[in-house]
Amino acid sequence: MFEISTPQGLSVKISAIGATVCSIKLDGQELTLGYADESAYLQDPFYLGCTVGPYANRIRNASFWLEQQQVNLTANDGEHCLHGGKTGLNRLRWQLETHETDQLTLSCSAAHGDGGFPGNRQFRCHFKVHQTELQLRFEATTDAATVLSLTNHCYFSLDAQAQNIDTHSLQSPLLQVLDKDATGIPTGRLLSCAERYPGLAAGEQLSQMFRHSGALDHCFVVQNAGNSLQPLATLTSPDQQLSLTVLSDLPGVQIYSGDALTTPFTPRQGICLEAQYWPDAPNQPEFPSPVLLAGEKYQHQIIYRFARQNGLDSND
């Protein structure tokens, strides 16, 4: 277990198992779910804080076509492949490359055919803390065409006393969300957030959102995604004193309300805000392409920016 921290009170613990963020504390307050025993992450079924890949979210029927070849993956979510299948990056022991007071870098490799994914791939995850934000940078290369979507899977709770996230508020400037079928696979249709989640643009308590829209496990669409960081969503504590804004240059963010959490946790004890490529994009050519070719470099960022209402935030 490694730790990085800032003079402004942000401390982050990271495990080489799955390049996992095990703890985020601001002024001593825990902000994400984790296990007391680091070895528990080897068998964790919830993907707590880990680096998810090679492909975050679902790929329909655990297969897709790439360069006129059918690629068959391991199914671990009914007929579908979820988060890279049974041998995803969260199950690997990553190697430490560098470790300083405020940053560290972990790396790992995956051979051609691991989990069915093509290409001998090299992965690197760089963690850096600055004032009150945690910055993650994901990098990868391959020697053959492959698909790639890496994300972090922290479950956030900004109130350690709350039994669940219902009294948190959620706001997002995103205008569209992917429609999906009963198994979580996108239908290809884009729905209006204003109609599906009418309180999201201004910010709404999650209990209200659940009441009229049901549980959250949907991919929200980023307009004009590119090289620049954009704010994707802001989570605010029940007392409105602490907020988390997620920023990324990725084309989507899966917002998941943690309904499948079970012992030693409880349903909706934390919420995930997972910046990523769109689910099932390898099978839906009209979606932003997750294909990485030999000689290209995958590089994306995710930032978790914390701010207190009457304290220092990372923009000061």
What backbone phi and psi angles, to 5 degrees, belong to 195?
A: -90, -45
Residue 265 and residue 165 in contact, taking contact as beta carbons nearer than 8 Å: no
Q: What pLDDT does 92 receive?
A: 96
Residue 100 and residue 69 in contact, taking contact as beta carbons nearer than 8 Å: no
pLDDT digits (tens, 9 = 90+) for 273-302: 999 999 999 999 999 999 999 999 999 999
Full set of structural domains in the chain with CATH: 2-308 (2.70.98.10)
Which among 21, 18, 110 is positioned nearest to 302, based on CA atoms? 21
Q: What pLDDT does 314 receive?
A: 45
pLDDT digits (tens, 9 = 90+) for 152-191: 999 999 998 888 999 999 999 999 999 999 999 999 999 9
SS (H, E, C) the chain: CEEEECCCCEEEEEECECCEEEEEEECCEECECCCCCHHHHHCCCCCCCCEECCECCEEHHHEEEECCEEEECCCCECCEEECCHHHCHHHCECEEEEECCCEEEEEEEECCCHHHCCCCEEEEEEEEEECCEEEEEEEEEECCCEECECEECCCECCCCCCCCCCCCEEECCCCEEEEECCCCCEEEEEEEHHHHCCCCCCCEEHHHHHHHHCCCEEEEECCCCCCCCEEEEEEECCCCCEEEEEEECCCEEEEECCCCCCCCCCCCCCEEEEEECCCCHHHCCCCCCCEECCCCEEEEEEEEEEEECCCCECCC
Residue 51 and residue 89 in contact, taking contact as beta carbons nearer than 8 Å: yes
Quick one: 171 exposed, middle or buried, by C-beta within 10 A (0-12, 13-18, 19+)? middle
Residue 147 and residue 67 in contact, taking contact as beta carbons nearer than 8 Å: no
Q: What pLDDT does 227 receive?
A: 75
CA dihedral (49, 134, 96, 52) positive or negative: positive
Which among 295, 302, 304, 303 is positioned nearest to 140, based on CA atoms? 295
For the chain, list residues with pLDDT below 70.
311-316
Residues pairing with 287 in the sheet:
none
pTM: 0.96
Which tokens go with 252?
């989507």
CA distance linking residue 73 with residue 284, whole number of Å: 17
Q: What pLDDT does 316 receive?
A: 47
Q: What pLDDT does 311 receive?
A: 52
